[in-house]
Structure 1
Amino acid sequence: MYTNIGMPPGVPQHHPQPPMSSQPNLFGNAFNSSGSGLIRGGLGAYGEKILGSSSEYVQSNISRYFSDPQYYFQVNDHYVKNKLKVVLFPFLHRGHWTRITEPVGGRLSYKPPIYDINAPDLYIPLMAFGTYVVLAGISLGLRGKFSPEALNWLFIKGLVGWFMQTALLKVTLLSLGSGEAPLLDIIAYAGVLG
């Protein structure tokens, strides 16, 4: 019939309010008054103008050098099997060696790797690099020379080698007058070559 507090059910309970601070607001109501909407609106529009134009600039320059990274990971088992056959046994490849294009938004775009065996992908180079690090670690372990520092050193040497191949390909393309290839394409091709 009674709750733990001792009040009968149905009787409204009074909850005491915490005392209000007796200190005055030093800044007044500058940000809480109706005039602050004007301040917020003006600053918001100005910030949007700055950030909007800068984000468009960054987007246009990044897309010129980097394309969408998801594009390079659109693969399936069938693609990986066929791509490994092309990489390991290129003389058995009976198809075409050019990439397949498709019109997108009034301009030509390349099909993703899942639909085009000749498209660059980052899945196979990254998996090959990871396999290299794991097998090198196993080799070090079998010889009794394994340590985290040695494995880290192999990882760094592999990354430096991949970077050097990428730089060499980029310099070669620039010297041939064709430096417009996206950087992720060059990184993918360097990973397959290494």
Structure 2
Amino acid sequence: MYNNVEAQPAAPKPPSSSQPNPFGNAFYGAGSGLIRGGLGAYGEKIFGSSSEYVQSNISRYFSDPQYYFQVNDQYVRNKLKVVLFPFLHRGHWTRITDPIGGRLSYKPPIYDINAPDLYIPFMAFGTYVVLAGFSLGLQGKFTPEALSWLFIKGLLGWFMQVMLLKVTLLSLGSGEAPLLDIVAYAGYAFTGLCLAAIGRITLKYSYYFLMPWMALCMGIFLVKTMKRVLFAEVRSYDSSRHHYLLLFIALAQFPLFTWLGNVSVNWLI
């Protein structure tokens, strides 16, 4: 009824070939934790610093495009007075700073008359193209192709003005001005060109007085503006070289205004 077969004794286990290391688990845990923590902190430091570097350089060279369109009617009127009649501006030419988030930034144009904006340059550029086309119509030479060439001519003149200001700042060791600031300063030239174009349409001979006058006013405005930028960012510079370059900026406005103000079918002249 019962199985009387005796149980066989279990076979002995072979001895382990390796001796246990009482420090292995401790070293492994500490080592893996050190590797994970070290690499994590190092990677966070690298990527964190690189992202901050990219953000700081983007804000330095390009800024926020929305900043340049924070304008109102009062700002536009006062800014046009400063651009068209800079010698009547009795206030300072420096921008108003505003610390935000631990960083020093500038107040938008709606709060600072010296801040650059893109609203006036874009509106002035569009008005310049329209007035140029109207002038061609009065001459009996208006065609869609001629208007498109005038548009390209205006863009090329704007680009040349930007390059002039940018090269001047770079030559003086002050190339850190945001690109959109320079684009805005260069675009203010179309306000004077619009006024000269209106003089050509209404009183033909007044153009020959308004064009050099607007070029002179634009030169004064840019010299005042560039001096503010230079004094704010350049710590050491050659004073004589600095004045010669500013004089070159002012004189360059005369051929530029003459070229852009000459409304004709041939946009090269």
**Given the two structures, how large is their TM-score scaled by the length of structure 2?**
0.50
Give the unaligned 5+ runs of structure 2.
Answer: 1-49, 191-269
Please name the residue that 2:120 is paired with.
124
In structure 2, relative to structure 1, the CA distance for the partners of 1:62 and 1:107 (3 Å cut) is: closer
Structure 1 residues 152-171: aligned runs within 5 Å: 152-171=148-167
Q: Which runs of 5+ in 1 are unaligned?
A: 1-53
Query: How many angstroms apart in 2 are the aligned matches of 1:76 and 1:87?
Result: 16
User: Aligned residue for 2:92?
Assistant: 96
Please state if 1:112 is matched with 2:103.
no
Count of residues in Structure 1 that have an aligned counterpart in Structure 2: 143
Q: Which residue of 1 aligns with 2:35?
A: none
What per-residue deviation string (whole Å, max 9, x for no partner) do you get for residues 97-116 of structure 1? Answer: 11000111112100000000
What TM-score do the two structures reach when normalised by structure 1?
A: 0.68
SS at 1:114 equivalent:
helix
Cα distance in 2 for residues equivalent to 1:135 and 1:69: 27
Partners of 1:61 and 1:107 in 2: CA distance: 14
Partner-residue secondary structure (3-state), 2:110? coil
Evaluate the alpha carbon distance shift between residue 69 and residue 158 of structure 1 in structure 2; reply closer, same or farther with a 3 A threshold.
same
Q: Which position in structure 2 is the counterpart of 1:80?
A: 76
Partner of 2:138: 142
**Aligned-residue identity in percent:** 89
**CA 1:90–1:60 in structure 2 vs 1: closer, same or farther (change >3 Å)?**
closer
CA RMSD of aligned residues (A): 2.1
Q: Secondary structure of 2:104's partner?
A: strand
Mapped partners of 2:153, 2:51: distance in 1: 36
Shift of 1:132: 0.4
For 2:155, the aligned partner's letter is L
Are residues 107 and 55 of structure 1, via their aligned partners in 2, closer, same or farther at CA, if it must alter by over 3 Å? closer
Runs of 4+ in 1 over 3 A off after TM superposition: 54-62
Q: CA deviation at 1:62?
A: 3.2
**Distance change (3 Å), C-alpha of 1:76 and 1:181:** same
- Structure index of larger Rg: 2
Deviation of 1:148 (Å): 0.9
Q: 1:55 to 1:152 in 2, by over 3 A?
A: farther
